[in-house]
Structure 1
Amino acid sequence: MSTEDLARPSDHTTAPAAVRAAAPGGARGRSRLPTLTGLRFPAALLVFLFHAALPLSDMRVFADDGVADVFYAFAAQSGGLGVTFFFVLSGFILTWSAREGDPARAFWRRRYAKIVPVYLVSWLLALLLVDLSAAKWWQGGATLFMVQSWIPDVTTNFAVNNPGWSLSTEAFFYLCFPAIYLAVRRIPAYHLKYWLAATVAVIAATPLITYTLIPLGTEVVPNEPANSANYFWFAYIFPPARLLDFLLGILVARAVLAGRWRNIGMLWSGVLLVTTYVAASFTPLLYGLRVMCVVPAALLIAAGAMADAEGRRTLFSGRTATWLGEVSFAFYLVHYTVLTLVRELLGDRMLTTALGIAVLVAEVAVSLLISWAMYAWVERPLTRRWSKPRKAMPRTPVA
């Protein structure tokens, strides 16, 4: 690839004025996206609700079978939606904030300085407090080095700290981003719609590809015993399969910045997301987890970014919402440990509906308190300290 390709003028000049001014390289420099920050906590809370609703003896808190069943029916797709939202959001944010002439190693340094310290602290807490004897030594090693999502074994994928598998997958996204970003920038703006359509089509075909190519196996998904663990791993956890969600976020950001995105607004994006979420409960597992909500999630992310770029206040751009969004990464990584500890403290005891709801609220509060401490004492200071090299690095542009 030539230096002329790398120095090619940005498509920001074709974007709407407000988006162009707020976009990377615009007159005002890189924009903040408070709405997208604020949306991170609801996505993390969806994952919390899914784990809290698992119909297993080690997570269930409600004594009433009917209440427990309704709770799980409501939250059965929430974990998949939360993870999909994060994967698409990650690609969008990284593209929106990409720095001109940024070396790949500088990008990798910033990303890993942000995620690895918090990941390791949450991993150590989970290992010492709830999983010291449960995980096999090699599972502990796989999760420590963030490679668990590459192993076709559900027990290993979720070992030590259950939500950590998605960070294993995200690490692969970060490794690929500099090359993907350069490739996407070379796509003519008027061709972006075709790439977006093709990416969505391949995502939609992922379950069919899985059913066709992957062996059924004998293992099943723990909370969905009618579904193959092999299918679940390949379609939902395997990093190259989930790279499509990340790519969709990159393409959506590029389309917004190039003025090639048709914005339907946050309200209608939210209505569509709720509608597809409900519909996902009536579709086969892999289609519900991978297909139903991915386009509405992308629409909502784009609408939120455009609202921020245009200076419009939203429900998620306030101070409280953005603070929750800032601590949401740590919340995502520690909530499962809190849920497990509370379940162990309860022993075999199940709770009335009112008391069960109170316990869930308390678990959210405790998780937030721990998350705030991790954000204030680990994530923020270490990100500031280690995201910049001690001396200037040679500028070998990749983005």
Structure 2
Amino acid sequence: MTKAAEEKSQEPIATAPPAQDEPAVPVVAGPADEPPKKRLPRVESLTGLRWWAAFFVFAHHMTNLAPLPIFKFLTYGTSGVTFFFVLSGFVLTWSAQPGTKVGTFYRRRFARIWPAHAVALLAAVFVFYRIHPDPAMSWIKPFDIGVLLLSLVLLHGWSNDPTILYSGNPASWTLSVEAFFYAYFPFVWRATQRLKLAGGLILCASVVVIGAGYKLLLFHNPHTLPTLPQPVWHSVAFLFGIGLAIALRSGWRPWLPFPVAFAIFAAGLYTLYYSGLHRTVPFATTMALTQKEILTVLYGLLILSVAARDMRGGRSLLRSKPLVALGQWSYSFYLIHATILYAIREFHGVSAPASWSNLTWYAGVLALSIAASALLYKCVEHPLEKRLRGPR
């Protein structure tokens, strides 16, 4: 295996997007002596956009049950987590209100992600764990209370051992990464809240260059540089989102029509896909090594385009009621859909070979997952978050 292939193999396996925040939620710490600022308007289209990112991840996961002829391209569905990490940094910064205490911020973040995570973890244990697992079912692991406890308290994402990293509900490694973001966000906000347009864009460029540069150095010096844990690797995307929000908070409204931004994103994604299939393409190894940083920029352009359009008051289908509702359910959808999918796979097996007729499986599992996510959102996620958050 080449070094480039080894680097790619270390990327997170099939995952789903991490928990996100409603754009109107004020969630940040700032200097206590600074007077409150006017709350920025909602960027509702981002809620609708969340659903499509979640669906991209779902489409990839479904290749483990019902592969399609384009299953190699759908492996890029895992990049949906990069979108959500960029979005997390953007939303937290956009909705930040000076004066919110650090303890209040942490309590609200706990209320946002943990209750639904705990319920989904309980369901996942019955699908992904057995006392004596069948070796033919590689996704089922032997029951280990210690590893499950790490998952429960969201510390498993700091291990690069797949048995620990993907323990409990396999998708919840992203929550461990998010918990790390939440831990340091108040202090990053304190240090950056006075930045304007230039400062925000410099932050975006700096983190991408540093992240890509470190991976290239690691490729050439594998024995002298440490392989960083996932929360550190993915901080590039989170900090990039913070930089974008800082730039927009300064009043910057770039004219980047969404069709143009989407065309750039699609072209960039296809370039990554094509270079992965044809290693003789110039810079193919470099693109493979810096894939997360490239995707960070591509997804950042989508978020920038959608947010700027909302700020200018432009029309958007992403603000339609059905898409906003699906976006609100996307965290619960993330938590539960892989559990449903693999439960079906255990009893049915893989629907092979790859065929377009497998789209019927996509429709059925999607409908079931949406129904389950709506139930989890309305019965657990939303009511417990409101209760645990406390007064605004």
Q: TM tier, shorter chain?
A: 0.7 to 0.9
Does the aligned pair in 2 maintain the 1:252–1:261 contact within 8 Å?
Answer: no
2:60 to 50, 53, 56: 50
Q: Secondary structure at the match of 2:319?
A: coil
2:340 aligns with: 338
Residue 177 of structure 1 aligns with which residue? 185
Letter in 1 for 2:311: A
Stretches of structure 2 that go unaligned for 5 or more consecutive residues are 1-29, 132-140, 276-283
Residues 141 and 31 from structure 1, CA distance in 2 versus in 1: closer, same or farther, beyond 3 angstroms?
A: same
1:119 is aligned, of 105, 117, 128, to 117
SS of the equivalent of 2:352 reads coil
Residue 268 of structure 1, CA deviation: 1.3
Determine if contact 1:77/1:280 at 8 Å carries over to the other structure. Answer: no
**1:23-172 alignment runs, 5 A limit:** 25-26=37-38, 29-53=39-63, 59-62=64-67, 67=68, 70-80=69-79, 82-133=80-131, 134-135=141-142, 136-172=144-180
Corresponding residue for residue 367 of structure 2: 365
- 2-side partners of 1:41 and 1:379: how far apart? 17
Q: 2:295 matched to 1:297?
A: no
Q: Give how far 1:143 is off.
A: 1.2
The counterpart of 2:242, out of the listed 240, 243, 250, is 250
Give, in angstroms, the shift of residue 206 of structure 1: 4.0
Identity across the alignment (%): 29
Distance 2:239 2:33 in 1: 22
Note if contact 2:199-2:247 (Cα within 8 Å) is conserved in structure 1. Answer: no
Structure 2: distance between partners of 1:124 and 1:157: 17
Does the aligned pair in 2 maintain the 1:263–1:302 contact within 8 Å? no
Counterpart pick for 1:264 among 256, 263, 267? 256
RCO higher in structure (CA 8 A, sep ≥6): 1
Match of 1:220 in 2: none
Q: Structure 2 vs 1, CA of residues 7 and 272 (structure 1 numbering), >3 Å: closer, same or farther?
A: farther
Count the aligned residue pairs. 342
Letter in 1 for 2:127: L
Q: Distance in 2 between matches of 1:98 and 1:317?
A: 22
Write the distance in 2 (CA, Å) between the matches of 1:183 and 1:302: 22
Contact 2:333 / 2:370 at 8 angstroms: preserved in 1?
yes
- Asked if structure 2 preserves the Cα contact closer than 8 Å seen for 1:190 and 1:260, the reply is no
The offset of 1:320, in angstroms, is: 0.6
Q: CA deviation at 1:356?
A: 1.9
Task: Quote the Cα distance in structure 2 between the aligned partners of 1:375 and 1:103.
Answer: 27
Q: Can you list the C-alpha shifts for 1:37-72, whole angstroms capped at 9, x where unaligned? A: 00111111111122222xxxxx2434xxxx5xx332
**TM-score, structure 1 as length reference:** 0.79
Task: Check the 8 A contact 2:66/2:350 in 1, yes or no.
Answer: no
Taking the aligned partners of 1:31 and 1:75, their CA distance within structure 2 comes to 35
* Greater shift in the superposed pair: 185-194 or 266-275: 185-194
